[in-house]
Amino acid sequence: MKIAPSVLTADFTNLKAEIHSIKDADIIHIDIMDGNFVPNISFGPAITKQINDVAIPNLDVHLMVLNPLDWITKFAFDKVEFITVHYEANNYLEAIEAIKKHNIKVGLSIKPNTKVSEIKDLLPLVDLVLVMSVEPGFGGQKFMVDSLDKVKELVKLRKELSLNYIIEIDGGINKDTAPLAKEAGVDLAVVGSYLFNQKDRKKTMEDLRWEYCCLFKKYLKK
């Protein structure tokens, strides 16, 4: 399982050093909130450009905004590998087309109350499906276990429909929930507050990537 640190809970007075501390990440998750789609505001294109210019890994931009179509061009920086829009947002189909026009990979996200069956027809259009395991808007919330059933459904559909999308999970990932996500079939796990509360981020990411395998090894030793 790959790890995408979310910089939402990073120390923004020390941004360059914070980004340096996650230089070994698989990709960096960028949470954009507009105060409409979610009851919070984060940061915008200017800060994202600063991160883009100092980051070593590519960026995974998660747009929690009501009108994603207005924002695609503003976030199309050279290291942006994915832009994810919400199925619950306005004009998500047009936004998907706009992302493709920039040669950026497309992500589609669903909030906890949206079922996988609602996006089934859209799956062939996307490179990544982001399952929210908390209500979007804030870091540091408790992982919703129900999200694992959605991951399993997406794994099954990917096989049935012969598709290749990446399955990402976002919210409440820590040392206890990462193994559950990995076991359910998550390819990429977003980790915010848990990671930024640790001093040794390289080791924490390494542990989270391998947690399930280590638990399995412990089991074998018994």
Q: Helix-strand-coil percent breakdown of the chain, rounded to 5?
A: 45, 20, 35
Q: Of 51, 104, 110, 134, which one interacts with ligand DX5 (CB under 6 A)?
A: 134
Q: What is the CA radius of gyration of the chain?
A: 17
The interface mask with ligand DX5, positions 145-184, x = CB under 6 A, is: -------------------------xxxx-----------
Task: Out of 44, 45, 112, 140, name the contact with ligand DX5 by CB under 6 A.
Answer: 140
The answer to the question of residue 170 lying near Zn ion (CB under 5 A) is yes
149 is known as an active-site residue:
no
Of the residues 34, 127, 170, 187, only one is catalytic, namely 170
φ, ψ (nearest 5 deg) of residue 75? -110, 10
Q: Judged by CB under 6 A, does residue 62 bind ligand DX5?
A: yes
Task: Specify the amino acid at residue 85.
Answer: V
Burial class (CB in 10 A: 0-12, 13-18, 19+), 217: exposed
53 catalytic per annotation: no
Among all residues, which ones are annotated catalytic?
Answer: 31, 170
> Contact positions toward ligand DX5, by CB under 6 A?
6, 8-9, 29, 31, 62, 134, 136-141, 170-173, 190-194
